[in-house]
Structures are given as C-alpha cells and as structure tokens.
Amino acid sequence: MIKKKTTRPKKSGAKKNASEKGKPSGLWMVKQEPETYSWDDLVRDGRTDWTGVRNFQARNNLRQMKVGDRVLFYHSGTGKCVVGLAEVAKPAYSDPTADDPQWVAMDLKPVKRLNEPVPLASIRYHPKLANLPLIRQSQLSVMALTKEEFETILGMGAGKKVRKR
C-alpha cells in the first residue's frame, strides 16, 4: 500500500516582514536626519537623489525599488517620526557619491505630508507594527514594509483611530 503524503502549511508564531519573504512589496520606509535633509527640503526641491547608502541590506532594498513604489519618509535623530509619503521617481542607478560601483542610489519625490507625524513611540507599541524593521533593525535606513504595516502607519498619520488587534 502506498501512503499519500500530505503537506500542511507550517505555522509560524511571528509574521514575516516583506523583505524577509523575498518579494518586494512596493512599500518602503526611508530614514533621514532632518538636520541633513528633511521632508521640507524634499518638498522644496520637488525631487532628490537618494545617495550615500552604505549598508548592504539597505542597498539591496534600493535595488528592488521601482518607479511608483510608495515610500514613508521618517525623520531619524531629531523628531523620530514618520512625516510624509513619497514615491520612487527613478529606480536604482550607480551612486555618483561612491567610489565603488556596487553602491546604488534612486530618486524620490514627495507625494504628501501626513496630517499628523507618527512618532516612534506610537509605532513601537502598536501590535500590528511589532515586526517593523524600524523597531527590529533600528540602524537600517531603507526598509521594505508589508501592506498592513504601511497602511497602519498611513492611517495613524491621517489622524484615524487605527484598530489594534
């Protein structure tokens, strides 16, 4: 007698982040110190090249970005909050500020300022954001987000009460 092998989906206690699943979500977060280049600078300029990334994981994330992908703009250092929604205007290209061709840049343009900044403290304690790379890998400057993470933060920034489950 031949037994039929059945496969069951593996259960996992923690939800995986978009970048951990290996599939780009088209939803991202970038971090920048406002003293160096703020959301207001991006709005004033209308577009900027996102150069100077020298972390391998962040670089790999930049390489996955496509024109039209949505990007949350996070002020690190002073403020520590998500302040705006941007969009990828040009996909990855060789970073002109680097001596090594392995480093890439991309272009970003503003879409809109959030109605309310979303502070790190609110993000840190929201159950839907427990696996957010911002929390788990605090030094990462370019990170992929899941649709749920992205929409939760956008909802918080819109001033909506986002249900916590």
The DSSP result for 2-45, as a single string, is PPPP---PPP-SSPPPTTTTTS--SEEEEEE-TTTS-HHHHHHH
Query: Which residues of the chain are modeled with pLDDT < 70?
Result: 1-24, 160-165
Question: What would the pLDDT profile of 17-44 be if each residue is shown by its tens digit?
Answer: 444 445 567 999 999 999 999 999 999 9
What pTM, to 2 d.p., does this model score?
Answer: 0.83
The per-residue pLDDT for 6 is 43
pLDDT at 13: 43
What's the half-sphere exposure (Cβ side, CA atoms, 13 Å) at 132? 27
Summary mean pLDDT of the chain: 87
